[in-house]
A and B are shown apart, each in its own frame.
Chain A
C-alpha cells in the first residue's frame, strides 16, 4: 500500500445472520480524492461506509483506513476521520453550541483550542445566530450543517458523508456542494454516498456503482459514461404492438438498448451513427441527447424498485 492511499479494501465481506450485505468489495481510494458510492437502497453503500468508520465489524477480508487496520486500530482511525451519518444523531438535550463543545470533549481535543475552533466553524457554516438554540428548534438544513461542522471539529484527514443532501432544500444543497468543492481544493479526502446522480457527477472524481453488495463499476463519471453508454442516447416511446418490431431492428443493427415499459433507451457507441437509428424508428416521441451518469446507473442497477 502506497503512502498516498487513504482507504484500501480487499475482498470485504459483511454478513448479518443469513443476509450478505457486502459480497467481496475491493476498492482503493487515494488521498485528496472525492469518491462517490452510488447505488439503490440496500445495495450496501452505508454498510461499506460503516465498516470504514468502525461502527460495524468486518466478516471477511481486509480493510485499511489511513493505513490503519479497522480490526485493531479503530480508536486511532476514529480520531482521524470525520463522519456525517445518514441520520443526524445530534444530542437533542443540548443547544447547538453545547453539541459542538461536547463533541470536542469526546474527541479529547486540547481545551485551549476548542473555543477558537468552534468559533471558526460557527462562522464558516453560518451557524452563529443559532448557537444557543435547542436542536429541536433548528431547520433540517441547519441541523445538517451542524453535523458537518461537528465532523470537522478535530480537523480530520478523511471525511465520510452518508447521503449528505437527502431531504435538503435546493439552497442548502447548493451550499453543501460548494462546500465539498472547497474541501476538495484543500486536498481533503472525501467518501460520500448519494442517491442524487447529478450530485455524484458534479462533485466526485470517481464514482463506484454498487448493487447487491458488489461494486459493479468504478471510474470517473466521464469514463463511466463513455465506456458503459457511449456518445449519445436516443430515447423513444412506442406502443406495445410495435415495440417488438423495433427491438428486433435494434438487434439486427447491433445497437445496445434498454427497455422500460414503453420507453426504449438506445446507447450509441462511438462507431455507430444515430442517424441510422432515427430512420428505423418511426415513433413520434424520439429524443436524441447526451448520456448522463443516470443512464449508467440505471443500466447497471436496473429499473426495479427496491425495498417495496
Chain B
C-alpha cells in the first residue's frame, strides 16, 4: 500500500502565536507605511480602472464595470499583500537578519515559526481586504451580508499565496529571484484570472491555464457570492482552494525546515 501519512495534518504547537505577535508588534511601529501601500494602492486601481476606464464600458456580464471589477481587485489584493510579505520580507528574515535562526535558539521548532509567519502574511492580507471593503462601502460598492463570506474566502486565498510565496522564498537565490516571480508569475496571473475582463474572452488554452492557479477560482467564487448566482461548480472551486491551502502549507513547511536545519 502506498504511504498516505503526508495527508495527515502536520502537528503545530502553540508557539506560532508568539511569532505572529512579534510581527504584529513590528507592524505597529511601521503602521503608516503598511497602511499606505496595503490599502491606498488598490484604491488607486479602483479609481483608475474601475471608475476611470470603467466609465467607457456600459455593462459587463449584466453588471456595471466597477461592480464587476471590485471582487477581482479584492482578490488581487488578497494575493499581492501576503505574496510580497512572504517573499521580500521573509527572505530578509531568513537570510540577512537571521530572525528564524534567532527564534530557533529557543524551544520553538521550525513548524511553529513557519506557521506563525504564514498566519502573519495571511493577517496582513486580511487587513488589506477589510480596509478596502470598508472604504469601498462609502462608494456604495458593498451592499449586503455576502461580503462576510467573500472576506473569509479571500483570507483563504491569502493563506494559499502566503504558502506559495514562502515556498518560492525557499528556492530564492537573491532578491532578483523575486523579480522573476513577480513579473513572470504574479503580474501575468492578475491579467488572465478574470480581474479586468471575463475569462471566457480568452483563448481556450489560456482559460485552461488560468484555472491551474488559485486566483481564478477565488474570483469566480467571489462573483458567484456577490451576484447571488450560486452554481454547483462553486463546490469544485472551493475544493480546489482547500486542497491548494493544504498543499502549499505543507510545501512551505518542508522547504523552509530544510533551510533552517540541515
Contact = CB atoms under 8 A, between A and B. Distances in A.
Asked if A and B are interacting partners, one says yes
Interface of A: 16, 53-57, 74-76, 78-79, 83, 85, 87, 89-94, 98, 102-103, 105-108, 150-151
Contact of B22 (A102, A107, A150): A102
B142 to A, nearest CB: 35
Interface in B91-122: 97-99, 101-109
B177 interface: no
B260 interface: yes
Nearest to A103: B106
A57 B262 contact: yes
A106 B18 CA distance: 6
B29 A108 contact: no
Contacts of A53: 105
Contact of B107 (A90, A106, A151): A106
A89 B96 CA distance: 10
9 contacts: A16-B262, A54-B261, A55-B260, A89-B98, A92-B97, A98-B25, A105-B18, A106-B19, A106-B108
B26 interface: yes
Contacts of B260: 55
A89 B107 contact: no
B15 A108 contact: yes
Majority DSSP secondary structure for residues of B touching A: helix
Contacts of B102: 89-91
Nearest to B14: A108
B21 A105 contact: yes
Contacts of A108: 15, 18, 107
Q: Which of B19, B22, B106, B107 has the most CB of A within 10 A?
A: B106
B168 to A, nearest CB: 23
Contacts, number: 66
Which 5 A/B pairs are nearest by Cβ-Cβ distance?
A106-B106, A89-B102, A79-B107, A105-B18, A78-B107
Contacts of A75: 13, 107, 109
Contacts of B105: 53, 55, 78, 83, 85, 89, 150-151
A105 B106 CA distance: 9
Interface centre among A54, A74, A93, A94 (most CB of B within 10 A): A93
A93 to B, nearest CB: 5
A74 B109 contact: yes
Nearest to A151: B105
B25 A94 contact: yes
Given A89-B101, A98-B25, A107 B106 contact: yes
A269 B21 CA distance: 63
Interface string B126-152: 000000000000000000000000000
Contacts of A74: 109
Contacts of A106: 15, 18-19, 103, 106-108
Nearest to B103: A106
A56 B15 contact: no
A298 to B, nearest CB: 32
Interface string B21-53: 110011001000000000000000000000000
Contacts of A78: 104-108
Nearest to A85: B105
A94 B98 CA distance: 14
Contact of A85 (B22, B101, B109): B101
B261 to A, nearest CB: 6
Nearest to A78: B107
